[in-house]
Amino acid sequence: MNRGLDVAIAGAGLVLTSPLLAASALAVKLDDRGPILYRQARVGRDGADFELLKLRTMIVGAERQGTGLAVAAGDSRITRIGRFLRRSSLDELPQLWNVVRGEMSLIGPRPTLRYQVEQYDERQRRRLEVRPGITGWAQIHGRATLPWEKRIELDLWYVDHRSWKTDLLILLRTPLALFGGTYKGETGGWRG
């Protein structure tokens, strides 16, 4: 998607979801009185660092406890409201602001942490040729249920095949992926 369309859709998305974002922010604050937003350094296009914004879903200081930056299913550091926000992906809404600022796109590989990028081989570094996205090819094919290597392969497929048609397909299939299904390819259809 071109930059102008990204800004227009993300800006409209911020306006339209502002009541939901406000309610979610209030719920985060009331849940444990900590900060509403979680800010984390991520790697963007061409390897540039940027500050990713999310609604906070874990206890304050979670990255210094338990498994550190890794988050496992049923992680005890996730707050009560955080479980709901993660399951519904509402915690990602502040990333629309990252899109408006030009650090992210609506569609692209999910932004990763610096330590993960340092483990990429030369081919995998091609993942950084495009802006990271809020949703992408890997997200409609299984999200975090996929092994890390498979997600990278799907992201590399996207880098090689990106087009307005692919982006439109991803946008249309993202809601289905969020609410229980994953896309298994052109012949496989949806699986709940």
pTM for the structure as a whole: 0.85
The pLDDT of residue 143: 72
Nearest CA among 95, 89, 124, 91 for reference residue 107: 95
The pLDDT of residue 188: 36
Three-class DSSP category at 110: coil
**Which parts of the chain have pLDDT scores under 50?**
181-192
Extents of the domains making up the chain? 3-191
The pLDDT of residue 68: 63
Alpha carbon distance 174, 124 (integer Å): 24
Cβ neighbourhood burial of 56 (10 Å; 0-12, 13-18, 19+): buried
The pLDDT of residue 100: 97
For the stretch 143-186, pLDDT in tens is 777 888 999 999 999 999 999 999 999 999 988 877 664 444 43
The pLDDT of residue 64: 78
Alpha carbon distance 31, 13 (integer Å): 25
Residue with tokens 């200081």: 61
